Structure 1
Amino acid sequence: MVTSMKSVTVNSSKLLGTAKSVSQDVTRPNAKNQLAAAARAVTESINRLDVTRPNAKNQLAAAARAVTESINRLVDACTDAGPGQKECEAAVRSIASTRALLHAPAQPLSELGYFACLDAVVEQSKTLSKHAFNSRPQ
């Protein structure tokens, strides 16, 4: 729980630092609106935390993910890149954000039970295989 709280703190600090630099950039008229939306998302996710509930760890992890996603959206809004670079950077950030999940494999990621998770994995695997089959070169 302490690690998740540190994550929320670090990501919030990063968001505020980015907010400061974006707010000074007058060449982007809608950057301030996007920044405000990201800050609202962070605030809402932190306000939803209830440490007295039994699933407080999961809520805190969800809040940390929401902070990370808000920062990623902010970075996307502020990044001007060449074709394909934006998608690559988003993929790298997505992979890097799952590192914490790999270090705590016993922590649940959802409220689903074992068999419900297994069914969800099977369904997603079917979708993935259909997409792979349909997108193969002919």
Structure 2
Amino acid sequence: MATQKLYAGAKLREVRTTLQHTQKDFAARLGVSLPYLNQMENNNRPVSTTVVLALASEFGMDVTELASGDTERLVSDMREILSDPVFEGHIIPLADLQLTASNAPGLARAFIKLHQSHRQTHERLAYLDEALGRE
């Protein structure tokens, strides 16, 4: 059975920035080179076993957070949003959504929040139009 590689660069970067470490310091604490850490943070290389073990031992991190279903949820939410008629004619490949969710989860969350605001505003306007007797 093939092992699935763990690409969790955004989460790795989030951990590092939360701890207020530079890439150089974080790489040293994890026992990897700076270029290797950079490649992992940019999802050019999978997160290594060495790094997973170091995150647990050095920082007490629950490493199951690295493999959380956040990416799948973001992709699912974005697919649902893109089915809105406002996006008619805009076909976004699944691979692009997956890349966005894994490499730029903050952007994906902002897109989701923006659409939620758009939908709420649209509903308020529809309510006001109805209250004023407009169609």
Structure showing greater radius of gyration is 2
User: TM-score if structure 1 supplies the norm length?
Assistant: 0.25
User: TM-score if structure 2 supplies the norm length?
Assistant: 0.26
